[in-house]
Structure 1
Amino acid sequence: MMRPARALLPFLLLPVLLTGCDADADKNGGTAADGASLDAAARDWGIAPELVYVTKVSGYTASQQSAGEYDGEFVVAYRSEKGATQFGLFVGHGTMTAENCPKQPLGEVSDKHVACEHDGDAWYREAGDSHEYAVPDDDGVVIRLITDADKVDRAILRKAAQAAHRPDDAELAALQPATAGADADA
């Protein structure tokens, strides 16, 4: 029987196993994608532009095929260059506070107690076999990096959380299919 905690990850990460795409950009040096290209990409994905974030962690690459909307959130899967481990980046509207942190389910885990630990500007959360870093911003957006606890260690998730940022033009282009925008004239 598949555990609920693992129900979403295989669905999300299946495309990662098929192919990946490297976003060769440094942590955002203040050069976010211009508004028009970000708006167009968000529209193609069916998501609000303020939810589009990426991260960069040495040894992991983003999967172009995984980028898009899932259940009202922006999602991107990252896999290790060796292909053995992966984590998901989810960005949605909401808040994360000491009061509501343990009340919010961790991914698809809804029947397990969620343990929360404040870590800098983020929250480290554990439930069942899953763990995540959740980073709330000042605009009512929460960036979550989630994976199986036995697959990716906390240090990697923390680095990914610290590196989460709005994409620059190169990172945005790397997440979009080559044909993106080709039929946008309609």
Structure 2
Amino acid sequence: MIRAVRHLPLILLLPLVLTGCGTEKAASGASGASDPSGPAGSSKPSGSARPAPDRSQLEARARYMQSAMEHIYATDVDGYSLAKQSVGVSGGDGFSSAYVSKSGGRIQLGVDRGTLTEANCAERSVYPAEGGSVKCERDGTFWYRTSGNAHEYARAEDGHVVRIGADGAVDRDTLRRAANAAHHADDRELDEILPQQVPTAPVERGDLPPVGDGAPNNDVGVGG
């Protein structure tokens, strides 16, 4: 009887020990699954990550600028950055922008509807030259075009022509790198390029009378 009594507490404690171990494992698993900072359960972007721009808003901003989405290009050249104030429409629904360097170099990017072939290569002026004879030279998939102090790389793509031009301050190798890097702007690039504010309603002018032909009211009082 004495031996049985001595072993009784160990027998009674065994279920408690097993239960305690099981509880610890479950709690640990639940903590890991619910921890939002863990790699598997994390769904929050890091503090430095920007949310992806809404495509419909990007399209609205492009319409406001009057450029077709397929004509909005970007490029990447060491030492050059986009001049936001240069961004705008070119022609009917084309696109134009400029990249500048601290040393004063300026590379012009332009996209317009049209074609570019050996037959018509010399018919279009070279940016930024005004008039003058144009010489064309084939360079890979591009035409290298020169006129006076201006030179340009141009390529036809899907009904439009992509042009990368500059004056003599930008050497040919730099211009070629800019041309090779030119591409359709992705959504994040579009978010940087396109105007941020899009009016939701026509701007109302306060000097227009509520009736009549809409001409400004220029009446003056007594004494003129």
TM class by smaller structure: 0.7 to 0.9
- Code of the residue aligned with 1:86 in structure 2: it is R
Q: Report 1:10-29 matches (<5 A).
A: none
- 1:75 maps onto 2:96 in alignment: yes
Q: Percent identity?
A: 41
Using the TM superposition, name which of 44-53 and 127-136 deviates more: 44-53
Question: CA shift at 1:35, angstroms?
Answer: 5.3
Structure 1 residues 77 and 110: CA distance shift in structure 2, 3 A = closer
Listed one character per residue, the Cα deviations across residues 115-139 of structure 1 (whole Å, up to 9, x for unaligned) are 11111111100001110000111x1
C-alpha distance in 1 between matches for 2:171 and 2:159: 27
Listed one character per residue, the Cα deviations across residues 30-85 of structure 1 (whole Å, up to 9, x for unaligned) are xxx875344223212112222111111111111111111133331011001x2411
Q: Report 1:75-94 matches (<5 A).
A: 75-80=96-101, 82-94=102-114
Q: Report 1:54-73 matches (<5 A).
A: 54-72=74-92, 73=94
Any stretches of 5+ residues in structure 2 without a counterpart? Answer: 1-52, 203-224
Structure 1 residues 50 and 85: CA distance shift in structure 2, 3 A = same
Which position in structure 2 is the counterpart of 1:176? 194
Q: Report 1:1-186 matches (<5 A).
A: 36-72=56-92, 73-80=94-101, 82-107=102-127, 109=129, 111-137=131-157, 139-148=158-167, 150-177=168-195, 179-181=196-198, 183-184=199-200
C-alpha distance in 1 between matches for 2:122 and 2:82: 29
Structure number with the higher strand fraction is 1
Normalising by structure 2, we get a TM-score of 0.61
Query: In terms of Rg, which structure is larger?
Result: 2
- Equivalent pairs, count: 149
CA RMSD for the aligned pairs? 2.1
Normalising by structure 1, we get a TM-score of 0.72
Question: CA shift at 1:92, angstroms?
Answer: 0.2
Any stretches of 5+ residues in structure 1 without a counterpart? Answer: 1-32
- Structure number with higher relative contact order (C-alpha < 8 Å, ≥ 6 residues apart): 1
Question: CA shift at 1:101, angstroms?
Answer: 0.4
